[in-house]
Structure 1
């Protein structure tokens, strides 16, 4: 059911790769709610994924751009404004990658060159996206910029590794840039701390399926799905949230405020039925 929340609005969505991507769900729903969009990802991701299918479904253009490259961003924004007929009303940053996670390096044995790549792709790219948008006056007044985060920015999560550092930086960028962009251009900047979601990137984290199960047992409302995250993103793109900025908004079924749930305690107690030598 459409509410026309984004009727007449225009946006740019970073990071849709395939149907597992949260950005994919956001793109579909944004168009359903009346928006015109441009899709973007790196050239290699466009070749590896199925974004062209999404573009056809959404009647959207795909523009290749590496969000870590300011020149690519400048070209992306210039082409997008030409295609859409002016400034955009929303931008979604759904980008994350850790070579250390992919290589199986533990947090106490990080490869620092890989760490630099993690931070650049997963967090500093958000600063670059906003900085170039502000410089080129890409986002309309009371427009909305949203990035996807995770509770590992505040809490230690087993094997989430240096992506936790990246998410903490991502949220800090939203606060710092949110103040400046809001003060000068009335543009909102927020992050959504989503439940663990089985995306292509998330599936690369060791034990991610168990993390999803744990979160499901801990959260009174259960995990938020990718589609539900898309719903939340749409509200932040809409005029209903014109005064919401510089926030990290938890969208996790209540997980972030839980200590121990009944379901998780039941499962924990079962572990005593067998000898466990875990540390």
Structure 2
């Protein structure tokens, strides 16, 4: 259902890869709500995904850019404003990748060159986007910027490794730049801490299916889907949230406030019972 929440608004969306992407779902919802935007991703990602299909569907263009390269960003922002005919009212940063996680490096055995790449791609790129937009005066007064985060910025989750550091940095950048942009132009900057989501990036991580299942059992409302995240993001882009800024907003079905749920405890008990049976059998064999 459309409410024309973004009618007349223009924006920039980073990170749409394919139909499972949160950025893709957000772009679709923005278009449904009357917003116009430019899409962008790295040239390499564009070869792997189908973002051109999304651009055609949403009557827009894709401008290739590496979000870690300031020259690329300035070119993207300039061309984006030219295409849309004015400054941006909203920006979505949906970018994250860890070579350490992809290559199975544990947190106590990180490759530091990979760590630099993780932080640059997943967090520092957000600062580069904001600083480039400010330099070019690319965002209108009362505009809105959203970046996607994860609860591992506050909690330790086994296997998330240096991406947790990146998300913590991402959220800090939102607060620090939120103050500067807020006092100058009433521009609000927030992060959305999303449930584990079955995207191409998430699905490629070893053990992600188990993390997804655990979060589903722990969350009173269940995991938030990519579509539900998109619904939330468009409210943050809209004029309905003009005084919400410098916040990390949880869209996770209640997971972030839970300690233990009945559903998760039930599975844990089954595991303990199974372990006890195996232990008893082992003891009998020894006797």
Q: TM-score when scaled to structure 2? A: 0.95
Q: Count residues with an aligned counterpart.
A: 277
Contact 1:95-1:122 within 8 A present in 2 as well: yes
Identify the residue that residue 104 of structure 2 maps to in structure 1. 104
Contact 1:171-1:191 within 8 A present in 2 as well: yes
**Considering only aligned residues, what root-mean-square deviation do their CA atoms show, in Å?**
1.0
Identify the residue that residue 71 of structure 2 maps to in structure 1. 71
1:20-51 Cα offsets, whole Å, 9 max, x none, are 11000000000000001100000111111100
Identify the residue that residue 268 of structure 1 maps to in structure 2. 268
Q: Distance in 2 between matches of 1:250 and 1:125?
A: 22
Question: Partner of 2:192: helix, strand, or coil?
Answer: strand
Contact 1:190-1:245 within 8 A present in 2 as well: yes
Deviation at 1:235, TM superposition (A): 0.1
Deviation at 1:158, TM superposition (A): 1.4
Question: Partner of 2:275: helix, strand, or coil?
Answer: coil
1:48-103 Cα offsets, whole Å, 9 max, x none, are 11000000100111000100001001000110111111101000000000000111
Identify the residue that residue 12 of structure 2 maps to in structure 1. 12
Q: Distance in 2 between matches of 1:64 and 1:112?
A: 28
Deviation at 1:205, TM superposition (A): 2.2
1:135-188 Cα offsets, whole Å, 9 max, x none, are 111110000000000000000111111101000000000000000010111110
Deviation at 1:214, TM superposition (A): 0.5
Deviation at 1:267, TM superposition (A): 0.8
Contact 1:101-1:204 within 8 A present in 2 as well: no
Say which one has the larger Rg.
2
- Which moved further from structure 2: 108-117 or 268-277? 268-277
Which segments of structure 1 move beyond 4 Å, counting only runs of 4 or more?
none
Q: Distance in 2 between matches of 1:163 and 1:205?
A: 12
Question: Partner of 2:89: helix, strand, or coil?
Answer: strand
Q: Which runs of 5+ in 2 are unaligned?
A: 279-287
Q: Distance in 2 between matches of 1:205 and 1:158?
A: 12
Identify the residue that residue 138 of structure 1 maps to in structure 2. 138
Q: Which runs of 5+ in 1 are unaligned?
A: none
Question: Partner of 1:274: helix, strand, or coil?
Answer: helix
Q: Distance in 2 between matches of 1:258 and 1:205?
A: 24
